Structure 1
Amino acid sequence: MTANAEPTTAARPPLVTVQGLKVAYDGGPLVLDGVHLELHPGETVALLGSSGSGKSTLMRSLTGFAPVTSGSVHVAGYDVANLRRGELRRLRADVGQVFQQFNLVGRLSVLTNVLTGALHDAGPVNLAGGFSAAHRRRAMELLDRVGIAYKAKEQARSLSGGQQQRVAIARALMQNPKVMLADEPVASLDPKLSHTVLDLLQRIAREDGIPVLVSLHVLPLALRHSDRIVGLRHGEVLVSAPTAQLSTEQLAPLYDGDDEEGED
């Protein structure tokens, strides 16, 4: 799927708004310095930057795992910097996350791994006695959507890397998320599988009307599978523009030289 097939997404009110965000850990130097970001329903935004640029910290700030030193972070109606513990749990249930290492329980079935995405609303009775029939139907529907329903009864560890990542995406969708975050979701996959996974994430954004923020290192993947690109360097936004307006040459300064050791 090519980028920018749906130019109307940015006209819709953002579901994520970050303004002037500064983040420092334990009184140390700033990891993020004055970052602005908006994510609109239905769009896929590629987050670029080399190691130490602050990509992972920015993602963590959206779910309250990184301190907001100053500025503001609003996600799906939550003021992240001012949430109590119970509110943080609800925020995190509303944000689906996909990781580089898949984070599946290898000995459990593919279906059970997807069902764990519903743990936030399963309740103590269901946790003790198993998930409801409605949850199981939903999980099978999601496995069918990502193309691996036929693997439902197999152990997750028996699947290929690309298949495991699709299970992880189905698990995130099981939460009925309002926002999706994908942190280097194709870093351990070959190029063909990378395109497949990113195409799936972009289709989910458009079909479900939710924003997807995906952290990437490979420029051609970002240029092909995103509607907008935000580039960080040394904790600051160096690039923020629609993908159609950018080229590899314009994005190259994000990777000039080596970033200092620090948070990715």
Structure 2
Amino acid sequence: MSTPTQTQPTTAELRQALPLVTVRGLDVAYGDQPVLSGVNLDLRPGEMVALLGASGSGKSTLMKSLTGFAPITGGSVRVVGYDVTNLLRGELQKLRSDVGQVFQQFNLIPRMSVLTNVLTGALHAAGPVNLAGGFSGKHRKLAMHYLDRVGIAHKAKDPARSLSGGQQQRVAIARALMQQPRVILADEPVASLDPKLADSVLELLRGIATEDGIPVLVSLHVLPLALAHSDRIVGLRHGEMLVSAPTARLDAAKLAGLYSQEGANHDDDGA
């Protein structure tokens, strides 16, 4: 009798796995100014979750709370096995090395090559190195692999400043992948890109979530992009969660309340 071959889990199976991020009843306040109140969130392997809300709704603060950069004043936050509310400094550093981050501002080193910028994503693993030549051949091969994956391996030797905005964001994504992250947080990653480039970058991020089983939380401010590129949508208004549901159950009309004075009805699937 032949033995069964081991197969990779399907995307559907990944999304039924235990969450890598679990947030329950999260409160965040700066002094006496509350920013988030009673927020719940799950991020499972293989899914891309869009985070929506008007400016000041608490989107960036929610992302910061997942890596200990925001003052958690209530509730619980667990990320890839870490209890973020009770971590020591060394443990926080380990957690942050497990979380890849992509920002609106690409945060590249303009004069350095594309390859070197991607290699900086491995600094936590490589230890102190000379950026000009201190990375191992293994790291360089891996960086080229990720540059090829995001479609710009041919730009490896070019200075980062010579690339277009969309290309620079792809470099930033490759740099995040160099961390071997277990979760990716993307804070307004397409805000400075035109619609075509925005679509391509979000398609890339969703592909990473699906193919690698890495959950991606991406904050956006354009409803059609969220509806087109996410598996679930979480919506905040004035620091409270008003929407948490599969994207297939939502449309622009149901999400419009996130940006209105009246707010929207809660649509919560328990996430």
Which of the five TM-score ranges fits, normalised by the shorter chain?
Answer: over 0.9
Q: Which ranges of structure 2 fall in alignment gaps of 5 or more residues?
A: 1-9, 264-271
- Aligned counterpart in structure 2 of residue 14 of structure 1, from 5, 12, 19: 19
Query: Counterpart of 1:262?
Result: none
Distance 1:239 1:9, change over 3 A: farther
Rg comparison, structure with higher value: 2
Query: Counterpart of 2:269?
Result: none
Give the whole-Å Cα distance in 2 for the aligned partners of 1:129 and 1:216. Answer: 37
TM-score w.r.t. the length of structure 2 is 0.91
Task: Please say which of residues 72-81 and 126-135 is displaced more in the overlay.
Answer: 126-135
Q: Is the 2:166–2:201 contact (alpha carbons within 8 Å) kept by the matching residues of 1?
A: yes
Spell out, residue by residue over 1:37-66, the C-alpha distance to the aligned partner (whole angstroms, 9 max, x if none): 000001000000001100000000000000
- The alignment status of 1:235 with 2:239, answered yes or no, reads yes
Q: CA RMSD in A?
A: 1.6
Q: Is the 2:116–2:131 contact (alpha carbons within 8 Å) kept by the matching residues of 1?
A: no
Query: Which residue identity lines up with residue 65 of structure 1 in the other structure?
Result: F
Distance 1:111 1:127, change over 3 A: closer
Task: Please say which of residues 115-124 and 161-170 is displaced more in the overlay.
Answer: 115-124
Query: Counterpart of 1:152?
Result: 156
Equivalent runs, 1:1-150 vs 2, <5 Å: 6-25=11-30, 27-124=31-128, 130-150=134-154
Q: Which ranges of structure 1 fall in alignment gaps of 5 or more residues?
A: 260-264
- Aligned counterpart in structure 1 of residue 168 of structure 2, from 149, 161, 164: 164
Bigger relative contact order (CA 8 A; separation at least 6): 1
Q: Is the 1:19–1:72 contact (alpha carbons within 8 Å) kept by the matching residues of 2?
A: yes
Give the whole-Å Cα distance in 2 for the aligned partners of 1:186 and 1:105. Answer: 19
TM-score w.r.t. the length of structure 1 is 0.93
Query: Which residue identity lines up with residue 17 of structure 2 in the other structure?
Result: R
Give the whole-Å Cα distance in 1 for the aligned partners of 2:11 and 2:33. Answer: 39
